[in-house]
Structure 1
Amino acid sequence: MVPASVVIVSPAASDANNGNARTAQRWAQLLGRAHRVTVVRQWPAPGSENAQVMLALHARRSAEAIAAWHARHGERGLAVVLTGTDLYRDIATDASARASLTFASRLVVLQERGADALPAALRPRARVIFQSTPALPPARKPQDALLAVVVGHLRPEKSPETVFQAARLLAARGDIRIEHLGAADSDAWQDAIRAAQAQAPGYRWLGPRPHEETRERIRQAHLLVHPSAMEGGAHVVMEAVRSGTPVLASRVPGNVGMLGEDYAGYFPPGDAPALAALLAACRDTQGQAGGRLATLSAQCEARAPLFDPETERQGLMRLVDELSTP
């Protein structure tokens, strides 16, 4: 294989604690074994002007770089990686995001249902590449209570209100605890957190945490709760699965594309009573063979190989080979 020169455009700074930044860093490492890789926030950029391949994360936020590449090279060598806000909001409402789709020769989605959101004429360009993380050994977890973690900065797309309300519905359950990690950057979110903590003794907001600590908290929990209203393929879902921690998730395409159509841990988006009922069912059958928690654990274990780093590396290598072949 002849090494290719690859530029990855990431709209997030390299030190940002979010999915785009981690994806760019991980892809640079995985591809860097065979290709010459540069990560930039804008393009053209020094050292990347003569790249043969561009992988642009985010159709709308990287639209300027995508358009600049297309003006110079056409669709040759160009792949656009589509996030949840791209698939489930921006390509329907934003002209620059729609243009990015038409400029690219390949459209990368991060879960099995992603291509369904694309215009039918563009679906043949889609490639599914699951994101990955190293496996961690499952932790021994206490049996006297159920601990669920929620990971995500507080914003409408992540539907934190669903968690607040579910915690209130479970206020009398001293054997169910919810820990919430993420930034709350507005007074309104801070007020909502204070109200939830006052009304639900089992709910605790921990604020933003470093990635390593967050992953360890996921590993130590019985469940990850992922209530997003909009999702493209969440890092925290695959990190939970690769840590031996099953997931309760909203039934939105981005979560179904990660966990599978028949997964037993879904609740309708925004449905706090359904989430509370699932948490109670997991606690009430905790430790029982064939119980809800055991069923979810087995289903997540079966999905875990999809999120293996070697699987992701092979998908990326095939993509770069497609893009760099005349």
Structure 2
Amino acid sequence: MKVALITPAGRGSHAGNRATATRWAGLLRELGCRVSIAGSEDAPKEWRVDGQAPDLVVALHAWRSHVAILACRQAFPAAALAVVLTGTDVYRFQHSHPETFHESLAAADVLIGLHDALEEDLPAGVLPRLHVVHQSALPLPPGAPRPGRRHFDVLVVGHLREEKDPLRAALAVRDLPMGSRLRIIQLGGAHDESWAKAAVEEMADNPRYRWLGDLPRWRVRQWMARARLMVISSRMEGGANVVSEACAAGLPVLASDIPGNRGLLGGDHAGYFPVADTAALGDLLRRAEAQPAFVEGLRRQVAARAPLFTPEAEREALARVITACGLHA
């Protein structure tokens, strides 16, 4: 079977959509599919697989890939079409650009969501076409670094942009007493110069904050091994892969209380805080440093979620999507 993966993130991009497309391409090949990855701004001829029309088109991002989604319907009328819903799709563009969003949904045979709480925010009429694919991650390798004693390192991973509320953890540790070992390590490139400037200024004012920029995956995984905690402070998420990575690594998580986090970590997770609530996050961070039992409880909770995020589980979920499209890998 021939599958075309279409993403708005170009070749070489570190954006989540590109990483998802690359990982899915490998998993679909394991299922026996022939796969190509192309950009949503490419011409339809670039969406072919080995020069042939695809049997299945998977378009990542309902809004950003809207033109491509409609063009695929016209160029490949016999192909099945699956549209992947991102966080900005569901929590921003559904409301700011409803006509475009709903046109993309109407064109799709199948909708793919990345977390289990999407029913809270999608129209009831589309739910029968919705299939959840949890993004997978690998556990840390044997012999990975261990947390040091000098610092209580808290990791924040993701691009610096508005949706991520990236400096919230840094703000939460500004006024700690001298004896605290808490330190925020921020990984990820800045969306624009204003965010880079904000991070540099925060480092100058806040000795507990370090921004290390966009690092390769192996370096990120090293920091996950060294950290004692991860903070995911996003204002909106469609199902962040960094949550899967934290669970697979056994890294305890403090997360903003939004559907995209609850849909991955579960409703009973003990580490939620209200969106953009600096004081509440600061309270949780101080509790984590002072109470090892609290951190251990969070570790047990993420470890219990880890089986949802294995490559095998993700591959099986993609196989179910293919079946739902009336196709066979």
TM-score normalized by structure 1?
Answer: 0.92
Matches within 5 A, 1:8-27: 8-27=5-24
Once the two structures are TM-superposed, the CA of residue 185 in structure 1 deviates from its matched residue by: 4.8
Once the two structures are TM-superposed, the CA of residue 183 in structure 1 deviates from its matched residue by: 1.9
Moved more, 39-48 or 228-237: 39-48
Question: Superposition RMSD on alpha carbons, in Å?
Answer: 1.9
Cα gap change, 1:201 to 1:212, in 2 (>3 Å): same
Inter-partner Cα distance in structure 1 for 2:38 and 2:112: 18
Read off the aligned partner of 2:44 and give its amino acid letter: P
Counterpart of 1:262 in structure 2 is: 268
Counterpart secondary structure, 1:64: helix
Decide whether the 8 Å contact of 1:168 with 1:196 is kept in 2.
no
User: Alpha-carbon deviations, 1:91-135, whole Å to 9, x = none?
Assistant: 222222221011101110001012332111111110011000222
Structure 1 gaps, min length 5: none
Task: Name the % identity.
Answer: 40
Counterpart of 2:323 in structure 1 is: 321
User: Alpha-carbon deviations, 1:132-153, whole Å to 9, x = none?
Assistant: 0222147532345311011112
Decide whether the 8 Å contact of 2:90 with 2:238 is kept in 1.
yes
Cα gap change, 1:172 to 1:317, in 2 (>3 Å): same
Counterpart secondary structure, 1:168: coil
Inter-partner Cα distance in structure 1 for 2:227 and 2:127: 38
Decide whether the 8 Å contact of 2:44 with 2:75 is kept in 1.
no
Counterpart of 2:294 in structure 1 is: 292
Counterpart of 2:181 in structure 1 is: 175
Inter-partner Cα distance in structure 2 for 1:239 and 1:220: 14
Once the two structures are TM-superposed, the CA of residue 171 in structure 1 deviates from its matched residue by: 6.0
Counterpart secondary structure, 1:32: helix
Inter-partner Cα distance in structure 2 for 1:66 and 1:171: 54
Decide whether the 8 Å contact of 1:53 with 1:324 is kept in 2.
no
Counterpart of 1:279 in structure 2 is: 285
Read off the aligned partner of 2:190 and give its amino acid letter: A
Moved more, 182-191 or 8-17: 182-191
User: Alpha-carbon deviations, 1:72-101, whole Å to 9, x = none?
Assistant: 556961110011000111122222222101
Once the two structures are TM-superposed, the CA of residue 14 in structure 1 deviates from its matched residue by: 2.8
Counterpart secondary structure, 2:8: coil
- What stretches of structure 1 move > 6 A for 4+ residues in a row? none
Read off the aligned partner of 1:251 and give its amino acid letter: D
Inter-partner Cα distance in structure 2 for 1:196 and 1:73: 50
Counterpart secondary structure, 2:325: helix
Decide whether the 8 Å contact of 1:17 with 1:211 is kept in 2.
no
1:305 to 304, 307, 327: 307
2:38 to 28, 37, 40: 40
Counterpart of 1:31 in structure 2 is: 28
Counterpart secondary structure, 1:160: coil
Aligned length: 319
Once the two structures are TM-superposed, the CA of residue 187 in structure 1 deviates from its matched residue by: 4.4
Inter-partner Cα distance in structure 2 for 1:36 and 1:312: 18
Inter-partner Cα distance in structure 2 for 1:75 and 1:171: 64
TM-score normalized by structure 2?
Answer: 0.91
Decide whether the 8 Å contact of 1:76 with 1:105 is kept in 2.
no
Counterpart of 2:70 in structure 1 is: 67
Once the two structures are TM-superposed, the CA of residue 50 in structure 1 deviates from its matched residue by: 1.1
Cα gap change, 1:89 to 1:149, in 2 (>3 Å): same
Cα gap change, 1:185 to 1:53, in 2 (>3 Å): closer
Once the two structures are TM-superposed, the CA of residue 188 in structure 1 deviates from its matched residue by: 3.2
Inter-partner Cα distance in structure 1 for 2:249 and 2:242: 10
Moved more, 38-47 or 199-208: 38-47
Counterpart of 1:220 in structure 2 is: 226
Structure 2 gaps, min length 5: none
Counterpart of 1:93 in structure 2 is: 96
Once the two structures are TM-superposed, the CA of residue 35 in structure 1 deviates from its matched residue by: 0.9
Matches within 5 A, 1:215-254: 215-254=221-260
Read off the aligned partner of 1:93 and give its amino acid letter: S
User: Alpha-carbon deviations, 1:189-213, whole Å to 9, x = none?
Assistant: 3443244223322111111211221
